[in-house]
Amino acid sequence: MFSARSLFQEILDDDRSFRLFCSIAASGEAQGGWENGRIAALVPESMRGLAPKITRHGADEDKHGRIFHALLRKRGLDPVEVPPETDYTMLLERRGIGLTHDKLRRDEPLTERDIVVYLAHSRITEQRAADQMVMLVKYFGGDAEVGRAIKMISDDEDNHLAYCHEELLRLAEEGHGRMIQRTLRECALSEIRIYRQVSLAVMERMGRLLGWPAPKAALLAAAIHVLYAYERLAGWRRMVTLTMPERRDALGGPAPPAPAF
């Protein structure tokens, strides 16, 4: 039998699976950094007050990418190319979630609706990221190799989630409430499908690298499907709820440095 802790320990202990794990994570963070940087540059004039916070969000994501690359370097490993079926960010885009890279590459101001879509998309994906980091901190926060890194990233993800809640609630008060709820629901239902798809692809790759026996691989796949069924039935509602966070103005300053990385 296995647990989440033993599963991740196995992945962290093997150089090949650790390399793939960090490469996937670094790639996703780098994409997030670029996206937030472009959104900050294209914020409509009516919402320019958000630009510094979006810039900070992107700087945090870039920092996370550097942290994962630093973890690879500490083991003397180079990143590997991310398999397309494990590219969470790009798969979400193809599903129509968030703002497309084509739109972000144009030098045309975004609309207020675009910013609502961006924040709703971020609220969903940051919830996923924050939950994952809480789990990793629980099991590996004291680990000499990765503990400091995951604690730093987890704190940032909590800030990102708080920022999304606060800004979406502010926009709801300004009259965007119906669109926000509609967008959150559509994004959440699509995200849980993509998350299942990516989780299955990542576990399949890890299983091949680590030589998992067929029963273990099948049990893991079944667990992923069970999580999807729960989220599809009821769990998605937690992802679309908005509450005023305890951390107010969480992205109201420059991104803290990570000199150790």
Residue 22 tokens, joined: 């960090």
Percent of the chain residues topping a pLDDT of 70: 98
Per DSSP, the residues of 82-96 read PPGGG-HHHHHHHTT
Residue 69 tokens, joined: 């690359």
Is 218 within 8 Å of 144 (Cβ atoms)? no
Residue 95's identity, in one-letter code, is R
Residue 87 tokens, joined: 């590219």
Number of CB atoms found within 10 A of residue 104's CB: 21
Is 190 within 8 Å of 231 (Cβ atoms)? no
- Which pLDDT score is estimated for 43? 97
Distances (CA, A) of 217 to 16, 114, 196, 201, 224: 18, 40, 15, 11, 11
The pLDDT tens digits for 116-146 are 999 999 999 999 999 999 999 999 999 999 9
Q: Domain 4-180's class? A: mainly alpha
Q: What are phi and psi for residue 77, nearest 5 degrees?
A: -110, 150
- Which pLDDT score is estimated for 254? 76
Q: What are phi and psi for residue 36, nearest 5 degrees?
A: -65, -35
Q: How far apart are CA 230 and CA 235, in angstroms?
A: 6
Q: How far apart are CA 64 and CA 80, in angstroms?
A: 17
φ/ψ region of 114 (left if φ > 0, alpha if ψ in -120 to 50, else beta) reads alpha
Residue 118's identity, in one-letter code, is Y
The pLDDT tens digits for 1-41 are 568 899 999 999 999 999 999 999 999 999 999 999 999 99
The pLDDT tens digits for 135-193 are 999 999 999 999 999 999 999 999 999 999 999 999 999 999 999 999 999 999 999 99
Q: pTM to 2 decimals?
A: 0.94
Q: Is the pLDDT of residue 257 over 70?
A: yes
The pLDDT tens digits for 190-214 are 999 999 999 999 999 999 999 999 9
- Which pLDDT score is estimated for 206? 97
Is 57 within 8 Å of 36 (Cβ atoms)? yes
Chain mean position to CA 52 = 20
Residue 149's identity, in one-letter code, is A
In this prediction, residue 67 has a pLDDT band, given cuts at 50, 70 and 90, of very high
